[in-house]
Amino acid sequence: VASVQVQLVVPMAVVFGPGSVPGDLPRPLPFRDVQEMEISVNLRSSVTARYEMLYRSTTGQEEAALAAATAREADAALHPLQDTTLGSLTTYVVPETSSLLPQGINVYVGKHRSALVRAGGSLAALQARLREVTQVMSFTASSIAAALSDRVPDGQLSPDARRYLKSSLGYEITFSLLNPDPKSHTVDWDIEGAVNRYVKPVLDKLSLVANFSVDSQILYYAVLGVTPRYDKESSSFLLSAHSLPHVINPVEARLGSSAASLYPVLNFLLYVPERSHSPLYIQDKDGAPVSTNAFHSPRWGGIMVYNVEAPASPQASLPLHVDVDMARVMEVFLAQLRLLFGLSREEVPPEFLLESPGNEGLADWELDHLLWAHTVENIATVSTTLTSLAQLLDKIGNIVIKDDVASEVYRAVASVQSAVTELSLGHLHAAFQASKEAVTSSERAFFDPSLLHLLYFPDDQKFAIYIPLFLPMAVPILLSLVKIVRETRQRKKEPTKMD
């Protein structure tokens, strides 16, 4: 279990639309092909990716769907005809001259698990594009290496590889409204409605990955720890990028979190600045105001500043009533939630067009992306935990292992083996569930309170305890032994003397 040898199998179907079949196919359609890619992590662990590709031509229904006017409609029509198992990919190849894809775009990635690819002339060019598609839609070497970041030697990792949320069985999300100036603003936010309308669909989609619990709170007289600077040109207050790290701590002391749950907490704060500091904008490193007026901290959460418009007449009665536009706020918070999980759309090649996932928050293939990373991370965590538990028990011989700890260990080993097997068969869902069970069992076994070892006796303490007890007792025994030996020797000499 110490070395992680995992094979990630991605079942792929490459469907050729009419007029898109390249001339240099090695065999007539349909045929299967396998491509392997090695992602070596360190000396003992290695991950190989295996793309099992099935090349075939379109069925009649698929042809009809590909005849749609835009790529989005085609994608919607193709969705019921596809393989929807987690982890699988379907790519539809359209002719080079097809108008389905806009000019300059060679790949359209839909909301589900399919992509439309423009034929590249030869099979090799098509395969190069298909490789790019799999890099975007399933996993890349760097995303797998980031998931295994515990095992990768530090020098080889990119500096931000470890900033995404670690795989956990559950997450707690807390929405907080910070109102430092209740005398000037009475802020009303319909958080319950917003959670029902915008957040729940996203969390339902993510429910496969973990359990989520949501709470919300309003904090009064909670100030940011930093005083913003007044900028005459824009007549607004500015928070510069290098003062942002100091904003979070004074607030965190007041945020609180559920005493019962041990899941990682994600905090999303909405700050309504005081009247004397309005409007407040966040500046990025180049001094330009940020369009979202928000920033986030990896593994912690995000903060958004919500500016209240100055009242029409200066004599308006305070406090002003503020109705927060929850949709705008949730657009930012949900985007931050995606970024915290590592689902960013920034590193996509320019000729790709990605369909926006809409209210679901993330596309099916992004969910797969998370599941691949989390499954590999879980398997690596379980193997490290079990190995170190075995080393601990080897080193300290007198720890008693209770039966339930032993059964958790057996269960963890069985689950992790089944997870690896399922991955090599291409069943991502089953593999992920098995890896979650393995993590639960191994953590329960490792952190069992009965495994605490407090019995270290240094050698000089052992001597100090046993010598006063045994030395007086040993003196007569030793003397008697000496006497016995002397007597036996004498008796041996005597018979010869008697003769």
Partner 1 sequence: VCTSRFWFNYRHVANTLSVYRSVKRLGIPDSHIVLMLADDMACNPRNPKPATVFSHKNMELNVYGDDVEVDYRSYEVTVENFLRVLTGRIPPSTPRSKRLLSDDRSNILIYMTGHGGNGFLKFQDSEEITNVELADAFEQMWQKRRYNELLFIIDTCQGASMYERFYSPNIMALASSQVGEDSLSHQPDLGIGVHLMDRYTFYVLEFLEEIHPASQTNMNDLFQVCPKSLCVSTPGHRTDLFQRDPQNVLITDFFGSVRKVEITTETLSLDRDVAGFEPKFPEEELATEPLKYAEQLPVAQIIHQKPKQKDWHPPGGFILGLWALIIMVFFKTYGIKHMKHVF
Site for partner 1 in 243-262 (CB under 8 A): 244-246, 248-250, 252-253, 256-262
Q: Is 42 in the site for partner 1 (CB under 8 A)?
A: no
DSSP reduced 3-state for 308: coil
DSSP reduced 3-state for 45: coil
Least Å distance between CB 439 and partner 1?
12
C-alpha dihedral sign at 389, 417, 33, 366:
negative
Q: Which range binds partner 1 by CB under 8 A, 7-15, 28-36, 72-80, 242-250?
A: 242-250
| Cβ proximity to partner 1, 78 vs 380, nearer residue | 380
Q: What are phi and psi of 57, to 5 degrees?
A: -100, 165
How many residues make up the chain in this entry? Answer: 499
Q: Is 356 in the site for partner 1 (CB under 8 A)?
A: yes
Q: Which range binds partner 1 by CB under 8 A, 49-57, 90-98, 132-140, 161-169?
A: 161-169
- Among 130, 125, 121, 120, which Cα is nearest to 35's? 130
Q: Is 276 in the site for partner 1 (CB under 8 A)?
A: no
**Rounded to an integer, what distance in angstroms lies between the CA atom of residue 268 and that of residue 261?**
18
- Give the one residue of 282, 363, 379, 409 binding partner 1; rule: CB under 8 A: 282
Least Å distance between CB 357 and partner 1?
8
Residues in 459-488 at the binding interface with partner 1, rule: CB under 8 A: 477, 480-481, 483-484
Contact 139, 49 (CB under 8 A): yes
198 CB contacts (<8 Å, ≥6 apart)?
Answer: 326, 327, 330, 334, 359
Q: Is 36 in the site for partner 1 (CB under 8 A)?
A: no
Q: What are phi and psi of 123, to 5 degrees?
A: -65, -35
Q: What mask, x for binding partner 1 by CB under 8 A, covers residues 412 to 451? A: ----------------------------------xxxx-x
**Rounded to an integer, what distance in angstroms lies between the CA atom of residue 399 and that of residue 308?**
62
Q: Residue 7: CA atoms inside 13 Å, Cβ hemisphere, count?
A: 13
Least Å distance between CB 142 and partner 1?
18
- Among 367, 347, 324, 345, which Cα is nearest to 198's? 324
- Give the one residue of 69, 158, 398, 456 binding partner 1; rule: CB under 8 A: 456
Q: Is 452 in the site for partner 1 (CB under 8 A)?
A: yes
Q: Is 361 in the site for partner 1 (CB under 8 A)?
A: yes
Size of the site for partner 1 (CB under 8 A): 80
Kindly state the tokens that stand for 177.
């409204």
| Cβ proximity to partner 1, 118 vs 338, nearer residue | 338
Q: Which range binds partner 1 by CB under 8 A, 4-12, 103-111, 284-292, 432-440?
A: 284-292
| Cβ proximity to partner 1, 17 vs 110, nearer residue | 110
Q: Is 359 in the site for partner 1 (CB under 8 A)?
A: yes
| Cβ proximity to partner 1, 2 vs 67, nearer residue | 2
Kindly state the tokens that stand for 377.
């991370």
DSSP state of 43: S
| Cβ proximity to partner 1, 21 vs 339, nearer residue | 339
| Cβ proximity to partner 1, 298 vs 349, nearer residue | 298
Residues in 216-235 at the binding interface with partner 1, rule: CB under 8 A: 225
**Rounded to an integer, what distance in angstroms lies between the CA atom of residue 472 and that of residue 475?**
6
Residues in 390-409 at the binding interface with partner 1, rule: CB under 8 A: 391-392
Q: Is 206 in the site for partner 1 (CB under 8 A)?
A: no
Contact 376, 144 (CB under 8 A): yes
Q: Which helix (H) or strand (E) holds 354?
A: strand 352-354
List, as one string, the DSSP characters of 18-59: TT---TT-SSPSSEEEEEEEEEE-SSS-EEEEEEEEEEEE--
Residues in 285-344 at the binding interface with partner 1, rule: CB under 8 A: 290-292, 294-300, 302, 304, 327, 330-332, 334-336, 338-339, 344
Residues in 104-133 at the binding interface with partner 1, rule: CB under 8 A: none
| Cβ proximity to partner 1, 93 vs 195, nearer residue | 195
Q: Residue 95: CA atoms inside 13 Å, Cβ hemisphere, count?
A: 7
**Rounded to an integer, what distance in angstroms lies between the CA atom of residue 354 and that of residue 126?**
19
- Cis preceding linkage at 279, omega within 30: yes
Q: Is 150 in the site for partner 1 (CB under 8 A)?
A: yes
Least Å distance between CB 82 and partner 1?
24
Q: Is 2 in the site for partner 1 (CB under 8 A)?
A: no
137 CB contacts (<8 Å, ≥6 apart)?
Answer: 89, 109, 113, 115, 365, 368, 369
